[in-house]
Amino acid sequence: MSFAERLNTIIETPRLILKPPSLAEFEPWCAYMADEEAARFIGKAQPPAVVWRGICTLIGSWHAVGFAMFSVFEKDSGRWVGRLGPWSPHGWPGLEVGWGVIREVWGRGYALEGSIAAMDFAVDVLGWTDIIHSIHPDNLNSQKLAARLGSVNRGPGRMPPPYENEPTELWGQTAEAWRVRRAELWRRFSG
């Protein structure tokens, strides 16, 4: 897939649509990032001006390097439910697939389903040979999700500014390990 083709990426899973973000998602993204519990481990609650900068950073990353997190939509309703996918800004501790969904859909498996698709994209399209997930030690739900994806806790990591004082554990796996794990995970959503 060429760089230009990646800018138009749309990934469909059984229940979700993943596509590069746009400012059309600004209002639901603001609501998500205003939710203190949902935003607790992804930069904390943020005002709209900071959310706008974050969305524009992801949009810019798509155009500058050909990837960033996707906006995630429910296939049935078209509702924006979160953002997830490949992420590796300057100084990041590795090539990451991260996730975050609105609290209203917690427990439905959307983060897992979308992350499986994002892991496939990172390995099959971007050619990543190793993937990390930077997870706060108190974020038990993300730790469980990383483990379900087949990732293991590799130990403490260090984030770049302005997150350098936040504790982080790096979970991860190789592309080879992912190729073995993904078929088993996709079976859950295809039956």
Q: How far apart are CA 82 and CA 70, in angstroms?
A: 8
Q: How far apart are CA 84 and CA 115, in angstroms?
A: 7
Straight-line distance from the first to the last Cα atom of the chain, in angstroms, rounded to the nearest whole number = 29
Predicted local distance difference test score (pLDDT) of residue 119 = 98
24-41 residue pLDDT tens: 999 999 999 999 988 888
Distance of CA 191 to the CA centre of its chain: 24
Query: Which CATH number is associated with domain 3-189?
Result: 3.40.630.30
Among residues 10, 17, 20, 14, the alpha carbon closest in space to that of 74 is found at: 17
Predicted local distance difference test score (pLDDT) of residue 187 = 82
Q: What values do phi and psi take at 66, rounded to 5?
A: 85, 15
Predicted local distance difference test score (pLDDT) of residue 21 = 97
Parse the chain into domains and list their residue ranges: 3-189
Q: Write the CB contacts of 188 (distance below 8 Å, at least 6 apart in sequence).
A: 109
Predicted local distance difference test score (pLDDT) of residue 191 = 59
**Residues in the chain with pLDDT values less than 70:** 189-191
